[in-house]
């Protein structure tokens, strides 16, 4: 074999391995740590509650059974097909790119089809490599991320050719962007951003609505801790409203979104509370420290403890005195009712509904047992 061919193969192996290494590292080390993060948070009691609430027909009933179910539903075997497809795409396209780079005369001034193509592939390569390294560092790699990386490589060429048509002087400046440079720059943006740009560009002449997800993003953003990127991750998993988030399976959403289990539980708890209050009332609810169903259950349990004493008191006997915790809970209930512009009985009914919700009970088992 010629020296040029050997050089091409070596260059291909080095370049193609960069985005593959973080995926391999995650599967060898990160996946196990992520599984342990979730499994270790659930006691046998919370596992039983999880089964009854989210998957009543499942066979597991303790930690060992849940770990086996986790392997079956989210195991590493699910990564093989996406990883193989990704490796084939990245090695093939990298080989073509390296071959072209080594044989191309970069002194040529004209920008032909080949140059735009190679720069579009280079931009996509930079993005997927950076994205996968960042995700592997955060233990945040799921099969859909790998599939998207493969898709990004495969569609980088039409992306590059389509966007390069806009080459010219940037608005508001004297900077001229060539077709090849623009094709590369586009590759440095997330796929969702490029798709949104192309939808908006096509929406004007075609009179189509290019922002169908904006309402979902704005609704989810009202929950503390959810930014636009996080809202878009939820939307990608089919969670587009507060109602869907409130009653989503937190384990499944954790795995599919790649986010922390505790964070998902908190977001689901906040979404559940938001189902009962409007935006103005939520300001008062948060002011009283009742962010999620867990905090509301804590308050409601204190109120219930006094109700049980009253119920156990013989008829005709004076009601027992409240202890300090019960007194504080009653005062908070009355102050909350005033802030919500509701009567005390209505406020108490809402708290009962949230505290008694099965999803609140599961979150309580995870946090408080």
Give the angle subtended at the CA of 250 by the CAs of 247 and 254, to the nearest 5°.
140
CATH architecture of the region 214-276: Orthogonal Bundle (1.10)
Q: Which comes out higher in pLDDT, residue 42 or 209?
A: 42
Q: What is the DSSP string of 25-71?
A: HIIIIIHHHHHHHHHTT--HHHHHHHHHHH-TT----SHHHHHHHHH
Pairing of strands 168-169, 176-177: antiparallel
Q: What number is the average pLDDT over the span 104-128?
A: 72
Tokens representing 18 are 């960069």
CA dihedral (203, 205, 207, 213) in degrees, to 10, reads 0
Residue 299 pLDDT level (bands cut at 50, 70, 90): very high
- Reduce the DSSP state of residue 348 to 3 states and report it: helix
Q: What's the confidence (pLDDT) of residue 170?
A: 43
Q: Which helix (H) or strand (E) holds 168?
A: strand 168-169
Inter-CA distances, 120 with 116, 152, 168, 195, Å: 6, 10, 17, 15
Instruction: Give kind and range of the element (H or E) at residue 176.
Output: strand 176-177
Instruction: Report the pLDDT value the prediction gives residue 173, as an integer from 0 to 100.
Output: 42
pLDDT in tens, 314-333: 777 777 888 898 899 999 99
Query: Whole-angstrom Cα distance, residue 192 to residue 197?
Result: 9
User: Is the model's pTM score more than 0.85?
Assistant: no
75: which 2 tokens?
């195991």
CA-nearest of 164, 152, 8, 162 to 86 is 152
Q: What is the mean pLDDT of the chain?
A: 82
The whole-number average pLDDT for the span 188-206 is 66
More confident: 13 or 354: 354
Q: Which of 152-156, 227-231, 300-304 ranks highest by mean pLDDT?
A: 300-304
Q: For the chain, which residues make up each domain, given as ranges?
A: 1-167+176-204, 214-276, 277-312+321-368
CA dist 294 to 205, 230, 285, 368, Å?
50, 22, 13, 9
Q: Give the pLDDT band (50/70/90) at residue 23.
A: very high
Confidence of residue 4 (pLDDT cuts 50, 70, 90): low
Q: What is the pLDDT of residues 247-269, one digit of tens each?
A: 999 999 988 888 888 899 999 99
pLDDT > 90? residue 308: no
Distances (CA, A) of 47 to 11, 23, 39, 52, 57: 50, 30, 9, 9, 13
Residue 207 has pLDDT above 80, yes or no: no
> Span 26-31, mean pLDDT?
90
Within 13 Å, how many C-alpha atoms sit on residue 153's CB side? 24
């Amino acid at each position: 074999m010629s020296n040029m061919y050997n050089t091409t193969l070596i260059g291909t192996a080095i370049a193609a391995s960069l985005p593959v290494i973080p995926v391999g590292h995650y599967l060898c080390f990160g996946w196990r740590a992520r599984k342990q993060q979730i499994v270790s948070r659930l006691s046998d009691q919370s596992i039983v509650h999880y089964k009854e609430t989210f998957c009543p027909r499942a066979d597991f009933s303790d930690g060992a059974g849940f770990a086996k179910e986790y392997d079956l539903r989210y195991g590493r075997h699910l990564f093989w097909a996406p990883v193989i497809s990704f490796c084939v795409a990245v090695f093939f396209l990298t080989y073509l790119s390296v071959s072209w780079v080594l044989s191309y005369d970069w002194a040529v001034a004209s920008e032909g089809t080949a140059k735009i193509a190679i720069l579009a592939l280079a931009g996509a390569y930079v993005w997927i490599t950076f994205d996968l390294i960042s995700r592997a560092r955060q233990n945040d790699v799921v099969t859909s991320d790998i599939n998207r990386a493969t898709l990004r490589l495969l569609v980088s060429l039409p992306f590059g050719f389509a966007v390069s048509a806009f080459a010219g002087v940037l608005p508001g400046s004297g900077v001229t962007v060539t077709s090849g440079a623009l094709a590369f720059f586009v590759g440095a943006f997330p796929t969702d951003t490029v798709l949104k740009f192309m939808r908006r560009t096509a929406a004007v002449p075609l009179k189509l609505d290019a922002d169908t997800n904006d309402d979902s993003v704005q609704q989810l953003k009202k929950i503390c801790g959810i930014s636009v990127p996080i809202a878009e991750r939820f939307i990608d998993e089919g969670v587009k409203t507060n109602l869907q988030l409130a009653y989503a399976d937190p384990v499944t959403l954790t795995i599919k979104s790649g986010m922390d289990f505790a964070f998902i539980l908190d977001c689901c708890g906040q979404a559940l509370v938001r189902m009962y209050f409007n935006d103005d009332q939520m300001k008062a609810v948060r002011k009283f420290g009742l962010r999620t169903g867990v905090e509301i259950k804590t308050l409601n349990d204190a109120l219930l403890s006094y109700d049980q004493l009253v119920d156990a008191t013989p008829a005709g006997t004076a009601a027992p005195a409240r202890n300090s915790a019960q007194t504080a809970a009653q005062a908070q209930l009355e102050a909350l009712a005033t802030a919500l512009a509701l009567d005390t009985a209505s406020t108490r009914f809402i708290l009962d509904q949230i505290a008694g919700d099965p999803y609140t009970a599961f979150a309580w088992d995870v946090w408080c047992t």
